Amino acid sequence: MELDTGKSTENLFANSKTQNAKRILYVILITLSLGVIGLAIGLAVVVQSKNSDVSGVSSNENQAGGAISIPDCIKHSGSKTPELDRANCVLQSYPLIDGHNDLSWQYREAANNTVYSVDLNSDLTKVWNVTHTDIPRLRKGKLGAQFWACYVDCTSQYKDAVRKSLNQLDTIKKFVHRYPDVFQFVTTAQGILDAFKAGKIGSLVGLEGGHSIDSSLANLRMFYDLGVRYMTVTHSCNTPWADNWLVDEPGYNGTVLNGITEFGKKIILEMNRIGMLLDLSHVSKKTMIDVLSITKSPVIYSHSSAFTICPHHRNVQNDVLQMTKENGGVVMVNFYDKYVNCGPNKTNITTFLPVGLEDVSKYPDLFAELIKRGWSDEELRMLAGKNLIRVLTKAEQVRDSLRYMAPYEDLISIDEELNKQCRTV
């Protein structure tokens, strides 16, 4: 979870009123009742319906999860409250997986991607006063694994989006490499568990926006080979093959593709074939429906909330939540006030932060609150990471089942390009 000064502030927590922190719990309960919940604690861990199999995984997936000994957290060792004690115990027994953290963008905006100019072991609030992430706070928050967002702005589309995305991916790999005792670069569900067992934060990469592949299946495959394990189908701009959420906004007067194009379908199916997760945050409702109708693998929403609680088009409507349940996917609840409380835009960054959830160090406090509301240890582990492990494992199984299938080699037609000025034949 990370706030950027140069990027849309949608990854922020809600505002400082305690009522808005409570609304986050209401969003969790709404999506939980439909059987598809995730928690984008900065932005994304997952939990399964309380009515479902409490294992959260199939028998094959239990084989991967079996690498970790899971105690019953019934003893207390001196935390502020018994609930916080138990929360810390749960998070020490299974990896808390955060699915969306913009630290690499912070490096770009504040340090020109110079990883060695800033020490993540220090208190970065004294360096970048808006940052929510540094190593001491990651450790205090009991982070077990992190999807680092590889994001570039929509203005780079048709220009240098691929180059800039590679720069951000390089930045992620540089800071993971700089702190080998803290981070471990991983690309599989088992890799997350292995890193956790070794006492390290498993580090994965999510490509935040389909514009980063420049409408190229070859680029998609290359990003996968470099370690990317999910791609957000769009950011807050259309690609030539998919609509973003803004097309659902009243008064939108841009191009509307009506969801996913024929070329877009090939992108979705190729992601299934290679084992890359589909992230449906930022896309239009029709794009969500189209992808859910096409994909063979479960989807994720790395930072979205419930439309029923807050009718914003970045959120997920109930009929789509039901489709996501049937798909086996997960929705990660976004803490940003505009998507939880439908609050107005703020000018003061600190007003987005709910009391007690100011940064990545506060996750145990959230789990303690859920314990007060009757959650079992197993349900908390599902929230922490078991369901994300489940979804990633399923995507890997689909990939393996398609291993003899030839890659999609289609090229997008020049007629489908929305901007032809930077194109050659």
pLDDT tens for residues 367-387? 999 999 999 999 999 999 998
pLDDT digits (tens, 9 = 90+) for 12-44: 223 334 566 667 766 666 555 554 554 544 333
Arithmetic mean of pLDDT, 384-402: 96
Asked whether residue 414 carries a pLDDT value surpassing 90, the answer given is no
Q: Residue 27 has what pLDDT?
A: 66
Arithmetic mean of pLDDT, 149-163: 97
Q: Where are the alpha helices (DSSP H) in 1-112?
A: 18-33, 59-65, 82-93, 103-111
Q: Residue 111 has what pLDDT?
A: 93
Q: Residue 334 has what pLDDT?
A: 79
Asked whether residue 178 carries a pLDDT value surpassing 70, the answer given is yes
Arithmetic mean of pLDDT, 318-339: 89
The whole-chain average pLDDT of the chain stands at 84
Confidence of residue 419 (pLDDT cuts 50, 70, 90): confident
H or E element at residue 294: helix 285-294
Q: Residue 332 has what pLDDT?
A: 81
Q: Residues 282, 237: contact at Cβ < 8 Å?
A: no
User: Distance between CA atoms of 348 and 10, rounded to whole angstroms?
Assistant: 14
Contacts of 209 (CB under 8 A, 6+ apart): 151, 152, 154, 231, 232, 234, 235, 237, 282
Percent of the chain with pLDDT strictly greater than 90: 67
Asked whether residue 278 carries a pLDDT value surpassing 50, the answer given is yes
Contacts of 22 (CB under 8 A, 6+ apart): none
67 or 275, greater pLDDT: 275
Residue with tokens 């959120």: 315
pLDDT digits (tens, 9 = 90+) for 27-86: 666 555 554 554 544 333 333 333 333 333 333 333 343 445 566 776 555 678 999 999
Asked whether residue 2 carries a pLDDT value surpassing 80, the answer given is no
Arithmetic mean of pLDDT, 337-360: 66
Strand pairing report for 299-301 and 277-279: parallel
User: Distance between CA atoms of 277 and 73, rounded to whole angstroms?
Assistant: 32
Q: Residue 201 has what pLDDT?
A: 99
Strand pairing report for 143-150 and 183-185: unpaired
Q: Residue 7 has what pLDDT?
A: 44
- What's the CA angle centered on 131, arms 127 and 135, to 5 degrees? 85
Q: Residues 287, 242: contact at Cβ < 8 Å?
A: yes
Q: Where are the alpha helices (DSSP H) in 148-261?
A: 161-178, 189-197, 217-225
Phi, psi of 302 (to 5 degrees): -70, -25
Asked whether residue 333 carries a pLDDT value surpassing 70, the answer given is yes
What are the angstrom distances between the C-alpha of 291 and each of 21, 259, 323? 31, 9, 10
Asked whether residue 296 carries a pLDDT value surpassing 80, the answer given is yes
User: What is the full DSSP assignment across 266-291?
Assistant: HHHHHHHHHTPEEE-TTB-HHHHHHH
Its pTM stands at 0.87
359 or 418, greater pLDDT: 359
Q: Residue 345 has what pLDDT?
A: 58
Q: Residue 183 has what pLDDT?
A: 99
Task: Please give the domain boundaries of the chain with CATH numbers for all domains.
Answer: 9-57+69-413 (3.20.20.140)
Asked whether residue 95 carries a pLDDT value surpassing 90, the answer given is yes
Q: Residues 29, 358: contact at Cβ < 8 Å?
A: no
Q: Residues 282, 151: contact at Cβ < 8 Å?
A: no
Asked whether residue 307 carries a pLDDT value surpassing 70, the answer given is yes
Q: Residue 12 has what pLDDT?
A: 28
Q: Residue 31 has what pLDDT?
A: 58
Asked whether residue 416 carries a pLDDT value surpassing 70, the answer given is yes
126 or 188, greater pLDDT: 188
- Alpha carbon 298 to chain centroid, angstroms: 14
pLDDT digits (tens, 9 = 90+) for 246-255: 999 999 999 9
What are the angstrom distances between the C-alpha of 188 and each of 64, 123, 192, 388, 396? 10, 31, 7, 11, 8
Q: Residue 143 has what pLDDT?
A: 96
Kindly state the tokens that stand for 214: 């420049």
- Which of 72-81, 114-123, 196-205 shows the highest mean pLDDT? 196-205
Contacts of 404 (CB under 8 A, 6+ apart): none
Percent of the chain with pLDDT strictly greater than 70: 79
Arithmetic mean of pLDDT, 99-118: 93
143 forms beta bridges with: 96
Arithmetic mean of pLDDT, 382-411: 96
b/e map of 175-211 (b: 16 or more CB within 10 Å)?
A: bbeebeebbbbbbbbbbbbbbbeeebbbbbbbbbbbb
By three-state DSSP, how is residue 80 classified?
coil
